[in-house]
Structure 1
Amino acid sequence: MSYRDLQGFIKVLEKNGELKRITCEVSPILEITEITDRISKKNGSALLFENVTGSPYPLLINAMGSFRRMDLALEAESTDAIAEEIREYLNLRNYLSVAGILKSIPRLFRLLYALPIKRPGRGKCQQVIEKNVNLNQLPVLKCWPMDAGRFFTLPLVFTKDRHSGQQNVGMYRMQILDDETTAMHWHKHKDGSQIYKDYQEKGERMPVSVALGCDPAITYAATAPLPKMLDEMMLAGWLRRANVTLVKCITNDIYVPSNAEFVLEGYVDTKEEPVLEGPFGDHTGYYSLADYYPKFHVTCITHRKRPVYPATVVGRPPMEDCYMAKATERIFLPFLKLQIPELKDMNLPLEGVFHNCAILSVHSAYPGCARKVMNAVWGMGQMMYTKLIIVVKDSVDVQNLREVEEAVLLNVSGLEDLVLCEGPLDALDHSSNRALYGTRLGVDATREGTPSGREHYSVINVNKTYPGEAMDRLKERLGDSEDKFVIAVDGNVEKEDISLVMWKLFNNIDGKRDLIVYGSRIGIDATKKWKEEGITREWPEDILMSEDIKELVSRRWEEYGLD
């Protein structure tokens, strides 16, 4: 039976020992973030802050921040089990005989849950209607010290295509500007931005509603990389095995989940000048830079009688969003395999923060198979942003990073095993010379190498004093050593922390600019780049918490009642 709402999920988390309640007063300005970050980094529990400074509402965070809680959220044994169900749908042999069709009937009936139901009247999300809007009464977080303000971090933003009337929902952060308005962070590549442009061309006001605190299947579905023609509520209904019930908003024609905790109703005036939004400590582990985005006017807030406000914190992995990304990796793998028959498995490592690295295993049955698969992936939806693709043979377990490392060190031999592909990059990628476009790198580790006893890599620290110094140091090291790979990182990076080094590498390189090949050996410059090295934008700062907040949280840790 599906969760009826977010509070039903909270009860299940608590029953399973996956929730900690914090009853003392805690500030939404940085303090909650520091607590949550510490808990996330040690794979800790979900947190329910019952007494948030300046707000009458409790705050839930890190609710899906582990593999176990992700499985509970989607009410499955595992996300692999969900993927297996999808694979059975896609297996056409199930429908080529009467016996196969009869066996598939229960599975096909489940598709009926995918159809959302529009219910007349009001839902629980409209038990209280507030037309005197004050966004600052909500326990909205300021997550990191350099953030421009307080941000909604887990909003489900509902919009409607002005031509077809089809609704779309996506998760876009929202910075509070004042009591009644926020910025709306619609990236150029996102569906919300395209819908906005259609309204803008006609000079029409665009209705928008934002649901906060839906059941976890609905929240997850809002993050899923679905084709534009598919309603995310269909995926949510199928996942939760119960139709999503929608109700019409009070002040516009958008339909929202009836059991949401809060709904912000309003509009975007497409004739209005965009507003400066950001910076914001983002899921890459860096601050995304300030830029101009549409302004969202909130005209009405509705909510349940005793609502819970949902939030998440993003930053250097592992964080809660990493586990949502891993769910997407497993759930959508069958669709990739249907279109790329050679593909066996995929791993999006946490350090790759969604779009910076994909490790693929393939059945390499012909020359160039790995390259064919790379190009297929780069041509597929949001996978086009993948900055680094590593391809190994299907005998390698891509979930075992030690096996992947051994395959790369043994089988990659200089330039002939590298693929450079220019194309679009994610809006949050900061390493390319220009925004939204750069060089993606493919590494073909499928060829059989001959062990030489020199299959090693090394990491060097470089305190750059002039442009190109990291490259000079790499040239020296490649000439003096027999290491297969040499990675240069900044002097303040702890080179023994391999997770940290990989995170820096995945974030900081452009394939064309930052590689040097010395025979069969490869140097990689993963240092911060200077404008003199080709960067045309400001290089963002690493996300770090201020020392005073870290000291405060350490002092209060026992008071929070956390282990």
Structure 2
Amino acid sequence: MAFPDIQSFMRLLEERGELVRVSVPVSRELEITEIADRLVKSGGPAVLFEHVRGSPFPLVIGLMGTRERTALALGVKDLDDLAAKVRHLVDLKGGGGVGGLLSNVGKLRDAMHLPPRRVRAGPAQEVVWRGDEVDLGKLPILKCWPLDGGPFVTLPLVITRDPETGERNMGMYRMQIMGKNVTGMHWQRHKTGTRHLEKAKRLGQHLEVAVAIGGDPALIYAATAPLPPIPGLDEFALAGYLRGERYPVTKGVTVDLDVPANAEFVLEGYVDPAEDWAVEGPFGDHTGFYTLPDLYPRFHVTAVTMRRNPVYPATIVGRPPMEDAYLIEASERLFLPAAQLILPEVVDYHMPPAGVAHNLVLVSIKKTYPGQAYKVANGLFGLGQMMFAKVIVVVDEGVPVNDFGAVWREVTARAEPGRDTLVTRGPIDVLDHSSRGWGYGGKLIIDATRKLPEEVGSAASSREGQGQEREEKTFAPHPAGHLPPFEGVLAQRQTPDGYWYVALRKTRPGQAQALAEAFAADPAARGVRHLLIGDEQTDVQNVQDVWWTILNNIDPERDVRRVGHLLAWDGARKLPEEGFVREWPPKIEMTPEVVRRVDALWHIYGLPGNPR
């Protein structure tokens, strides 16, 4: 199902009770974030804020804030249908003579929807601001979190063109408002926008940029998708395939770039590669931590075009789960067939919200030979943005990778610390605050598949390799919840499946390592396979919070090690005395004042319930 624009999608959601309106005035600074955060975490509706203080334009948020709404936005009944749709396209038949070729006609017709369709003009250019008319402060751009460096455009579709090859790119890069006509452009070193800017610098020219806000849901998703480098496949093409019809584009009014003809707003301008970069941030990021200030290019806005009655779409990122979790899941489903073409033993994979995309990948395989789990994991590290993965856990094909608890039970049952864990190095997301270097750090592979004789060399393990059912193990927690007395331990919990969670207030170097060694030597730890040491804010009663903290705060090469019979994960804050020279960022938290204000006004907003 193709939506002409984002407002048509909004109307459908409202008809289904999946979008509600707030007619009372709200603040774009923190208040909308607190409301939206509560709703997305509780599976609530999208919200149209009709009156945003300081702006003449309404704002909509949470359009893809549930799995079901994301599937609807992408034209499928369920996100799993995306994999079937792509598999149907790539599985072209080459044999069978004329009959075999004719069987491909329907698929090739689908592929014809890929190139965008040029139109003379579109609603996105009904109103045009130029020069001094440009004032980004009139748009209801959010300041999302208390420590943010300012308001940020959080759902921008940033369009550039390679100055040498002419190839087009669209990406979603946050943009901090730095003036009435200037923003930051958060192009990280691995991003295509950065490569385009570097080429423009070599050629001694400005890089033209257009930023669409809105469009339709398929295009918004496509801007986030990790597309493979295939000639002719870009974000407009992907959106066209998902829509089932070619995407309408038109020329910008002041830039020589194609822009979505059905956008709500388009910001046009340039980045000057010869200009000094500006300090951008901090920003409460999708990791759930603040990204600290750094230098990034400036985007100069020379024109703003828009519909006559536009709606400003926004999203927020922060502690998971957030709306981006469903966009990540859509990418999982969409690119599963491509991964299986390269690694045919892959049955399924999943990037759970606790891993905020790259920090954790769970993959199931059809195992037939020793070492296959490591082969698959290393193969995944070589696939596009999967290179940023930090921890990959490999399980057998019968284990549901979207069942978080089942996977970690499999880890304690089948993966022996040291023998079935492997640490390596590679590229890391530059937003990772715990890595050994900027964009570079350790990675961990855990082989939680059944072991073949060659992988273990023991008689008992050989029997397992011959198809015997593994012994189910239950690790009984100590009745007193015992933990050796140790400074800084604020809370702890042991689970029946072999994990011990600890919240540690760290005050000196080596404290977490000393705790791990003392714990491993204690008799109460005999049945434990994994010691997870979180920071002082870790909620040990919440397994998702524990893993989210651990995965954000480790460099596996430095912080995951075998201590005695167990694997110790040091997710506590790292200190300068331990050789960590960068500043450690805080976790994202809303101010108590805003929380209280939203509590008091919830009934006035007219929203369902009051989730907290």
Length-normalised TM-score, structure 1: 0.98
Q: Distance in 2 between matches of 1:147 and 1:453?
A: 45
User: Does 2:9 align with 1:9?
Assistant: yes
Select 1:397's aligned residue among 380, 385, 400. 400
What is the SS of the residue equivalent to 1:512? helix
Distance 1:523 1:97, change over 3 A: farther
Give the aligned residue type for 2:502.
Answer: I
Q: Distance in 1 between matches of 2:95 and 2:40?
A: 44
Residue 187 of structure 1 and its aligned partner are, at CA, apart by: 0.3
2:93 and 2:104 in contact (8 A); partners too: no
Partner of 2:361: 358
User: Does 2:129 align with 1:130?
Assistant: yes
Partner of 2:20: 20
User: Could you tell me the percent identity over the aligned residues?
Assistant: 44
Residue 517 of structure 1 and its aligned partner are, at CA, apart by: 1.0
Select 1:411's aligned residue among 411, 414, 418. 414
Q: Distance in 1 between matches of 2:6 and 2:269?
A: 23
Partner of 1:489: 534
Q: Distance in 2 between matches of 1:491 and 1:218?
A: 41
CA displacement, residues 333-352 of structure 1 (integer Å, 9 cap, x when unaligned): 11001100111100110111
Q: Distance in 2 between matches of 1:233 and 1:10?
A: 21
1:433 and 1:537 in contact (8 A); partners too: no
CA displacement, residues 408-438 of structure 1 (integer Å, 9 cap, x when unaligned): 0101112111111111100111111221100
Select 2:543's aligned residue among 491, 498, 503. 498
Distance 1:507 1:179, change over 3 A: same
Partner of 1:203: 204
Partner of 2:492: none
CA displacement, residues 51-74 of structure 1 (integer Å, 9 cap, x when unaligned): 000001000111001001001100
What is the SS of the residue equivalent to 1:176? strand
Q: Distance in 2 between matches of 1:106 and 1:233?
A: 21
Select 2:252's aligned residue among 236, 249, 257. 249
Partner of 2:507: 465
**Superposition pairs of residues 119-518 of structure 1, within 5 angstroms:** 119-120=119-120, 122-131=121-130, 132-228=133-229, 229=231, 230-448=233-451, 450-451=471-472, 453-454=474-475, 455-480=497-522, 481-482=525-526, 483-518=528-563
Q: Distance in 1 between matches of 2:503 and 2:164?
A: 55
Give the aligned residue type for 1:292.
Answer: L
Single out whichever of 241-250 and 489-498 deviates more from structure 2: 489-498
What is the SS of the residue equivalent to 1:209? strand
Distance 1:39 1:164, change over 3 A: same
What is the SS of the residue equivalent to 1:527? coil
1:429 and 1:507 in contact (8 A); partners too: yes
Residue 94 of structure 1 and its aligned partner are, at CA, apart by: 7.0
Q: Distance in 2 between matches of 1:161 and 1:56?
A: 36
2:93 and 2:101 in contact (8 A); partners too: no
What is the SS of the residue equivalent to 1:441? strand
Residue 318 of structure 1 and its aligned partner are, at CA, apart by: 0.7
Q: Distance in 1 between matches of 2:309 and 2:47?
A: 18
Distance 1:352 1:97, change over 3 A: farther
Give the aligned residue type for 2:47.
Answer: L
> Which structure has the bigger radius of gyration?
2
Give the aligned residue type for 2:386.
Answer: M
Partner of 1:110: 110
Q: Distance in 1 between matches of 2:399 and 2:228?
A: 31
Give the aligned residue type for 2:269.
Answer: G
Give the aligned residue type for 2:512.
Answer: A
What is the SS of the residue equivalent to 1:21? strand
Give the aligned residue type for 2:83.
Answer: A
Q: Distance in 2 between matches of 1:94 and 1:45?
A: 46
Q: Distance in 2 between matches of 1:221 and 1:492?
A: 36
Give the gaps of 5 or more residues in structure 1.
Answer: none
Residue 88 of structure 1 and its aligned partner are, at CA, apart by: 2.1
Q: Distance in 2 between matches of 1:16 and 1:391?
A: 40
What is the SS of the residue equivalent to 1:250? coil
Single out whichever of 385-394 and 83-92 deviates more from structure 2: 83-92
Length-normalised TM-score, structure 2: 0.90
RMSD over aligned Cα atoms? 1.4
Residue 97 of structure 1 and its aligned partner are, at CA, apart by: 5.6
CA displacement, residues 148-183 of structure 1 (integer Å, 9 cap, x when unaligned): 000000000010111121211100000000101001
Give the aligned residue type for 2:77.
Answer: E
Distance 1:31 1:485, change over 3 A: same
Residue 451 of structure 1 and its aligned partner are, at CA, apart by: 4.8
Residue 110 of structure 1 and its aligned partner are, at CA, apart by: 1.4
CA displacement, residues 254-274 of structure 1 (integer Å, 9 cap, x when unaligned): 110101000101111111111
Matched residue count:
562
Give the gaps of 5 or more residues in structure 2.
Answer: 452-469, 476-496
